[in-house]
Chains A and B, each alone.
Chain A
Amino acid sequence: MRNFARTDSHTLASYRGASGYAAWQKAQTMEPAALVEEVKKSNLRGLGGAGFPTGMKWSFIPKTHTGPVYLVVNADEGEPGTFKDRYLLERDPHALIEGMLITARAIRSALGFVYIRGEYVQPWRRFSAAVKEAYDAGLLGKGFDVVVHRGAGAYICGEETGLLSSLEGKKGWPKIKPPFPAIKGAFGQPTIVNNVETLCCVPPIIERGAAWFADLGTKTQGGTRMYSVSGRVKKPGVYEESVSITLRQLIERAGGVTGTGRLKAVVPGGGSAAILTADEIDVTMDVDGCRAAGTMIGSAGVIVMDESVSIPEALLVLARFYAHESCGQCTPCRESTGWIEKMVHRIVHGHGRKDDLDTILDVAKRGGGTTICAFYDGAIGPYISYIQKFRGEFEALCRA
């Protein structure tokens, strides 16, 4: 679906040259309810991390609401190992704009916000230029406006309601739910928050039909998606594949394992996904396949580790990340992310005890499901899986 290889792929001219905005033309002849149905039937699932069925999310907007409805694009890509949205913003911004136009029609929104992480300066400039092109061409500003909004550096603003708080000019503190954003979101109004890539799938779905999209994937998830592959592989980069691909196939597509050449472990779905060992890579890389394997596809950020990688060190990197990025709003996450980092630090530097490992596992388990948002549930993915699956390596570093 992606035409990154086009010259000047980010320009309107290039996009139109590849039949861009034809889907929008078609969508304008369809009723909003029909658009929602089409996306439902396509089995498109959120590609930012949660994997929620997109059409179903759109249908949560209350039918009786007469005030504004907002469409918010989550371009706060921040999950370790993920970089696909950066590519889309820089190389195919009009795909996002077209996706926004169609979605806005489906959910009856007249105002969209694109929240781009603050560090993405070049992508922000590229995307803003594309928005201007779209306004100049009369695509935007005729019933749908787009405001491009830069973040200021906080991973938690990738959480749906943390993003909304930040958009409202506050700290990126996620909101307590209920109410959910479709009922009460940005600025108190019904809001749909969708990931960049999810919206970029909408034009092809409308143009070529839900069945086509659904057939590309698995029974419960349609389409292709862009896998971000990095770490100890020969050809790190973005790979657009059917969601039915297995992790083994994906690693091969990326040229195979470097370093020692022997695979040790793989992070399949961004830093918050439970790690998989070398004999667990025949998992199907769709939402339900990964869930069944005890992990998650999340943002499809694949980090490959060979035998020379120290798993305890890798955990320390992530433990530091979660402690740094915890927003601090609710007690379990705020207090235990910092404590767990201290314990992992101690272990990696040779001052740990074996029962520290049990403490980490117990604390992580106790905090799961108790927090305002899923940040902590993401953090416990690595806390628990790295220690459980590579316990020997941790114990070897412990003193007692």
Chain B
Amino acid sequence: MPKVTIDGKEIEVEAGTNLIEAARRLGIEIPHYCYHPGLSIAGQCRLCMVDIEKTPRPTIACNTPAADGMVVQTETDRVKDTRRSIMEFHLINHPLDCPVCDQAGECWLQIYYMKHGLYDPRMTDEKVHKPKAVPLGPHVMLDAERCILCSRCVRFCDEITGTGELGIFSRGDRSEIGLFPGQDLENNYAGNVVDICPVGALTDRDFRFQVRVWYLDATKSICPGCARGCNIDIHVNRKRPHHAGGRRVARLKPRFNDAVNAWWICDVGRYGFDAVDDPERIRFARHGGVDVPLDDALGLLVAALRDHAPDEIAILASPDLSNEDLFALRRLAEQRGIRHIAVRMPPAAGHADDDFLLRADRHPNTRGAETIGLDGDVAAVLARARAGSVKVLWVIQHDLTASGFSPSDVAQALERVGTVIFTGTNENATSTLATLVLPFAAWVERDGTFTNFLGRVQRFRAALQPLGEALAAWDLFSRVLGMLGGTPAGGRAELWFRELARTVPAFAGLSYQSIGDGGAMLAGAPPTTAPEPPGRRAKAPA
């Protein structure tokens, strides 16, 4: 393995590692725009130049594989002067849009100008003008003047999604990023081009003008949109609630995990957090249509479970619940002897695996539910209800009518049931038919773990306080368990996970510590890697 010296520090790297990556491992940042570890080398921005011993001119680091004995300097006067030149070239035609540009605060022209530029601008001629505020499909906004033509977005559409919608048209300083006129940016991964655009040329339409990024806090989490469990950061706006119309979750960003999603996330997941701040969030418990204090509602729930024979009670649990939630529910059911618990729903029409990350199963914890032993069939439970065998039906989170069951089947089933209890985060057609409703905290408001379809257990974390009197599901189940005479594992999600790991063999040996930020596999499940992007799979060599 080649050994290189960068700024006097030596490091051994795998053959083929480029100098930007080698330097990164030493904690040395070589500034760059067009380079991205998930994309091919472009060598276009010319910012990453470094001095290499025995090479007369500065060389770009992205296209230089570390060679044994190579000696690299990244902070010579010549390198610094070159960076200042390159920054000036980048800013010659760049519009001074900072006051109105969403990228401000996370803009790499701003950041690198402050670090490597700091020259007095001398461009007094008219700048080149290009189209501004051009929608590229439903999620992305293009400002062609701001574009530094690094080509990351073009390479993304070629190499990752394989859809090739974006191109760089014309020549010279009239070069312009764009779509084929009349086409849209319609692949399911469009939002990623906003992440990889170093400047405000490609911005998120959903996030546009919402809030300045320096008011945002980031929390590591897992996307609950499907069974893949892409790693994300939740960006919340706590400091300026009067911006963004009171919306607390400002946006989701992918978090790198080479075992799950690499650098990417699909649009379904990225833009699928509306429910969290929807006005239809359930904040308070309700009985007979009237708000009641939570403790009263809990009492009513426990009474319903105690006053009926266990076989007359059915629970429709949800694969949206975390491992901790589901395990606490299992304990609750065991305490009371309830056997009729179902999790499995028919897949909604039109949902299929896409050719990259998105799974047909749009729930984050189906595998967790199966592994914990709660995988009965919801259709069977509904059939029992329709037959009159169910006196208490506890629906957790589901909107039954949205799940492929016909509204009349559902209505029939619910009619025959004496007491319908609903616990969940958002109102839906089922919750409005329930006698007793209790509020759940949303996934952004609680801690827990999901198990993805390949058996990877990953932590998600609370970024916000729950609304109203909403409780984390495991917390609600915990209290009910206690009121039924059982022993809850404790007042934190982590304590329930420990209990789970002690009880269910597949989880043995796992802990929040071992799961860390990257996740860990269930016992016996082989390690995973992020799938090959369709853009690379499709191309047969010339």
A-side interface residues toward B, CB under 8 Å?
Answer: 154, 171, 176, 178, 187-188, 323-332, 334-339, 342-343, 346, 359, 363, 366-367, 369-372
Contact = CB atoms under 8 A, between A and B. Distances in A.
B125 A328 contact: no
Contacts of B427: none
B90 interface: yes
Nearest to A372: B43
Contacts of A372: 43-44, 46
Contacts of A346: 125
A337 B49 CA distance: 21
Interface stretch (B80-88, B234-242, B266-274): B80-88
A324 B171 CA distance: 8
Nearest to A178: B63
Contacts of A328: 149, 168, 170-175
Given A335-B93, A342-B125, A327 B171 contact: yes
B215 to A, nearest CB: 32
B85 to A, nearest CB: 4
B314 to A, nearest CB: 63
Interface of B: 41-47, 49, 57-58, 60, 63, 82, 85-86, 88-90, 92-93, 122-123, 125-126, 128, 148-149, 168, 170-175, 541-542
Given A171-B168, A370-B85, 15 more contacts: A176-B42, A330-B43, A330-B44, A331-B44, A331-B47, A332-B86, A334-B173, A335-B93, A338-B172, A338-B173, A339-B92, A339-B93, A342-B125, A359-B122, A366-B82
- Interface centre among B49, B58, B82, B88, by most chain A C-beta atoms within 10 angstroms, is B88
Contacts of B88: 363, 366
- Interface centre among A187, A331, A337, by most chain B C-beta atoms within 10 angstroms, is A331
Contacts of B43: 176, 330, 372
A377 to B, nearest CB: 11
Given A328-B175, A371-B46, A372-B44, A335 B89 contact: yes
27 contacts: A154-B171, A176-B60, A178-B63, A324-B172, A326-B173, A327-B171, A327-B172, A328-B172, A328-B173, A329-B44, A330-B44, A330-B46, A331-B47, A331-B148, A334-B172, A334-B173, A334-B175, A339-B173, A343-B125, A346-B125, A359-B122, A366-B85, A370-B49, A370-B85, A370-B86, A371-B46, A372-B43
A323 B173 contact: yes
B172 A325 contact: yes
Contacts, number: 95
B45 A330 contact: yes
Contacts of B541: 188
Closest 5 CB pairs of A and B: A328-B175, A176-B43, A338-B173, A366-B85, A326-B172
A355 to B, nearest CB: 8
A176 B65 CA distance: 14
Nearest to A366: B85
A22 to B, nearest CB: 38
A324 B174 CA distance: 9
A331 B92 CA distance: 10
B89 A331 contact: yes
Contacts of B172: 323-328, 334, 337-338
B153 to A, nearest CB: 15
Contact of A176 (B41, B82, B85, B173): B41
Nearest to A172: B171
A381 B541 CA distance: 40
A369 B57 contact: yes
Contacts of A331: 44-47, 86, 89-90, 148-149
A76 B424 CA distance: 70
B362 to A, nearest CB: 40
Contact of B542 (A187, A325, A332): A187
Nearest to B167: A171
A27 B225 CA distance: 69
Contacts of B173: 323, 326, 328, 334-335, 337-339
B49 A336 contact: no
A237 to B, nearest CB: 32
